């Protein structure tokens, strides 16, 4: 009888451990405009527009007059920004809920127009769409590819705690 109880407890603990792992992994799905090869990263920093993207919550994080906002869409001032063409800095070493805690460092390391290693998007850019997440795509015909920088950093391995 003791062996049966022990075996049952062992089975249940293994089951719950497996269930816990599957709940914690892959909470958010990276967007199609996100860079390939970083499916387990939570944050991108978009230097051209000085905005973060939280993959887990599918929200953009931006400074609005000193207050950090979290929104599903980019603010209207970026309605013409092309997420597919813009460079995404992947913050691989940050594990908190406030990537903007290191905003001063990120702005200095990755200024507007920054381009590190070449990136491929996870998915194809939809036809007739400039790739933004502002809203009405028929009003958004412009593109902003930013200026290329001659910096050649490995943006994915910097320490961002």
The two beta strands, 51-54 and 59-64, are: antiparallel
Quick one: pLDDT at residue 143?
A: 39
pTM, entire model:
0.66
Please state the separation of Cα 2 from the chain's center in Å. Answer: 50
User: 44 to each of 12, 88, 103, how far by Cα in Å?
Assistant: 38, 6, 12
Quick one: pLDDT at residue 3?
A: 63
30 DSSP 8-state letter? P
With pLDDT > 70 as the criterion, what percentage of the chain qualifies? 63
pLDDT value at 34 more than 70: yes
Q: Say how far apart CA 74 and CA 86 lie, in whole Å.
A: 14
User: Are 61 and 53 within 8 A, CB to CB?
Assistant: yes
Q: Say how far apart CA 46 and CA 32 lie, in whole Å.
A: 15
Beta bridge partners of 43: 54, 91
147 DSSP 8-state letter? P
- The model's pLDDT over 107-120, given as tens digits with 9 standing for 90+, comes to 999 999 999 999 99
pLDDT value at 98 more than 90: yes
């Amino acid at each position: 009888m003791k062996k049966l109880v022990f075996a049952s407890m062992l089975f249940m603990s293994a089951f719950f451990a497996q269930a816990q792992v599957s709940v914690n992994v892959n909470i958010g799905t990276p967007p199609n405009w996100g860079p390939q090869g970083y499916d387990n990263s939570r944050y991108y920093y978009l230097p051209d527009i000085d905005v973060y993207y939280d993959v887990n919550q599918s929200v953009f994080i931006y400074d609005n007059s000193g207050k950090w906002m979290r929104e599903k869409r980019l603010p209207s001032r970026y309605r013409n920004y092309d997420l597919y063409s813009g460079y995404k800095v992947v913050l691989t070493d940050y594990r908190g809920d406030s990537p903007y805690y290191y905003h001063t460092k990120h702005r200095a390391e990755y200024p507007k127009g920054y381009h590190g290693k070449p990136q491929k998007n996870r998915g194809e850019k939809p036809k007739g769409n400039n790739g933004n997440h502002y809203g009405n795509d028929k009003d958004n015909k412009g593109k902003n590819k930013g200026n290329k920088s001659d910096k050649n950093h490995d943006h994915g391995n910097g320490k961002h705690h």
